[in-house]
């Protein structure tokens, strides 16, 4: 399915996009493309060049999914350790890592975000991360940043996640509300859905 976005349809498109992530048994990648006229398109099945992956979910039964499961168990102790250190629910950190990188410590975005929690260079520097590919450093910096955002927005998880995805400036621009960007709306919904799942299962990891 391909969806076209305009500024005025951001909210409507967000709800349509969120259909890709309506439950724990739904697995779909989400791709985005901006054409030369400034039109933005989203799809879970890109059939032409120019699309970039913005939300990644391994498919059950694939080799990638098996690697995902192995990495998830591998990094869970570090996530719990850093979550305790900064007093953040480990299930929330796991949901962010899942959505940002699918537990791939080598993940790199087109924007230059790196590692498990997809830290940008300035964010890494701000929170003392010298090697973004180092799993423990990356999780430390990302969890510390998440704690900062939770405090900044009075523990409103939706706003903290929106800022993690789109930046603090974007949240401020829209009056301390989740920005009406389809990508950010989908991100917040996805992380919260996964957070709810991890609250039920994180103790077993």
Rounded (10°) angle between helices 135-152 and 157-166: 120
- Single out the catalytic residue among 69, 100, 136, 151: 100
Q: Which residues contact 105 (CB under 8 A, 6 or more apart)?
A: 71, 75, 115, 116, 133, 134, 135, 138
168: annotated active-site residue: no
Nearest to 143, CA basis, from 96, 199, 103:
96
Strand order in the sheet with 52-55: 2-5, 40-43, 30-34, 52-55
What are the helix (H) ranges across 45-118?
63-86, 90-101
Q: Which residues of 135-163 are buried (b: 16+ CB within 10 A; e: fewer)?
A: bbbbbbbbbbbbbbbbeebeebbbbbbbb
- How many other C-beta atoms can be found within 10 angstroms of the C-beta atom of residue 28? 17
Alpha carbon of residue 139 to chain centroid: 13
**Residue numbers annotated as active site:** 100
């Amino acid at each position: 399915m391909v969806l076209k976005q305009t500024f005025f349809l951001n909210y409507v498109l967000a709800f349509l996009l969120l259909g890709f992530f309506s439950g724990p048994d739904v697995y779909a990648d989400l791709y985005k493309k901006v054409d030369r006229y400034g039109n933005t398109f989203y799809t879970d099945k890109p059939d032409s060049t120019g699309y970039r992956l913005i939300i990644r979910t391994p498919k059950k039964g694939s080799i990638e999914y098996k690697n995902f499961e192995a990495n998830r168990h591998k990094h869970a102790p570090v996530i719990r350790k850093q979550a305790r250190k900064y007093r953040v629910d480990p299930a929330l950190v796991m949901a962010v890592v899942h959505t940002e990188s699918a537990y791939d410590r080598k993940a790199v975005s087109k924007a230059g975000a790196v590692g498990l929690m997809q830290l940008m260079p300035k964010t890494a520097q701000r929170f003392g991360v010298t090697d973004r590919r180092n799993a423990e450093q990356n999780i430390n910096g990302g969890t510390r940043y998440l704690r900062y955002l939770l405090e900044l927005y009075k523990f409103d998880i939706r706003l903290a996640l929106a800022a993690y995805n789109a930046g603090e400036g974007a949240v401020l621009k829209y009056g301390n509300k989740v920005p009406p960007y389809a990508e950010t709306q989908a991100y917040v919904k996805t992380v919260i859905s996964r957070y709810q799942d991890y609250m039920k299962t994180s103790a077993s990891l």
